[in-house]
Amino acid sequence: MLLEKLFERGRAFLGVDYPIICGAMTWVSDHRLVGAVAGTGAFGLLAAANAPVESLREEIEKTRQLTSRPFGVNLITVAPNYLDHLALAIELEVPTIVFAGSIPKGSEIARAKDSGANVVCFAPTDALAHKLIAEGADALILEGSEAGGHIGPVSLTVLLQQILFKVDTVPIFVAGGIARGQMMAHLLLMGAAGVQMGTRFVMSAECTAHPAFKETFRRAKARDALATPQFDSRLPVIPVRALQNEGVIEFKKLQLELLEKLDRDLIGRAEAQEHVERFWMGALRRAVVEGDVKKGSLMAGQSVGLVDEIKPLAGIIAELIEDGERELEKVLRSLG
């Protein structure tokens, strides 16, 4: 298999058959999905989000009951429970810790590494990529703005040129807008150690997201997944890419209300930011768990336009491998 050679670095780092990561999605990436992903030979990430510490402990333990294969935990560095989540991941010797949300401190990276974990960080710029590597990151994830949920400002095609083509000291995984094996093959040829997908795995039979949530994804076009605006720098809102619905309109109204309160000194910036994050957590739960696709948050990447069928995870992985292999054979033929 032509993919074998290209899989080597990511496979060795993650300890799995296929360096295909199921990204951490709040209310979606639970022990059931992560355990099922591990069963296919791919790699799953539990979403810590802002879960109570004991809930995260339970998720890690339940995942270990489902699989003996490697998996990781995604920690949100701006979450109120972040430091407690980090302490728990260290205590339970989670094999891979992914820092997301913002840039972790060097001391936090060191603590994770001292526990024996592989440390993975998101790198939104080339300068930060070098900084994170210098501080001990074992691998990086480049996530383009095409992705769903909280996103950075730069597209994957630019990040590849800024970082992937220039940095080879650590494995680099790429994410954002990826849903097909053909794209995976080309990214591996470019030097990626593997890929991360989120939206693609929402449309798996094993994903426990509400059927109405999945049906909205099935019918959506790429152009329907838009990033939310930031109205004022005093309320530094990390853009969220989601399908447009009443919930997005409510979020825009919330921003304006919070800005008015800031103008009148009725609220501080930290409290305003907390209101924003609390809105998304609640709205996402309404959509994913309860099936409220009108007012809930439909976080989705632009790759939602590439997935229109629910399949078993084994079928999804097999399709990615088969399509990737055919693409590499096509590339070989084109080179004579």
**pLDDT score recorded for residue 12:** 98
Residue with tokens 């909280």: 150
User: Do you know the residue count of the chain?
Assistant: 336
Residues 27 and 84 in one domain: yes
Residues 261 and 281 in one domain: yes
Residues 141 and 246 in one domain: no
> What's the domain range around 222?
211-288
Residue 295 lies in a domain: no
- CA–chain centroid gap for 153, Å, is 15
Residue 237: pLDDT over 80: no
- Give residues with Cβ within 8 angstroms of 260, minimum separation 6: none
**pLDDT score recorded for residue 111:** 98
Residues 216 and 197 in one domain: no
| SS3 of residue 173 by DSSP | strand
Residues 200 and 218 in one domain: no
Element (H, E) at 61: helix 53-66
Strands ordered across the beta sheet of 149-150: 149-150, 240-243, 225-227
Residue 116 lies in a domain: yes
Residues 199 and 108 in one domain: yes
Q: What is the CATH number of the domain that holds 139?
A: 3.20.20.70
Residues 283 and 320 in one domain: no
CB atoms within 10 A of CB 190: 14
Residue 1: pLDDT over 90: no
d(CA 299, CA 150): 9
Residue 209: pLDDT over 90: yes
Residues 281 and 313 in one domain: no
**Position 49, amino acid:** A
Residues 115 and 227 in one domain: no
Residue 234 lies in a domain: yes
| DSSP-derived pairing of the beta strands 118-122 and 149-150 | unpaired
Q: Within the chain, what is the greatest distance between any pair of CA atoms?
A: 69
| pLDDT, mean of residues 324-335 | 96
How many separate domains does the chain show? 2
Residue 298 lies in a domain: no
| SS3 of residue 222 by DSSP | helix
Residues 203 and 229 in one domain: no
Residues 127 and 249 in one domain: no
**pLDDT score recorded for residue 50:** 87
Q: Among 176, 181, 178, which Cα is nearest to 320's? A: 181
- Give residues with Cβ within 8 angstroms of 12, minimum separation 6: none
For 46-58, the pLDDT digits (tens) are 999 989 999 999 9
**pLDDT score recorded for residue 236:** 74
Record the pTM. Answer: 0.94
Residue 179 tokens read as 């849903």
Residue 103 lies in a domain: yes
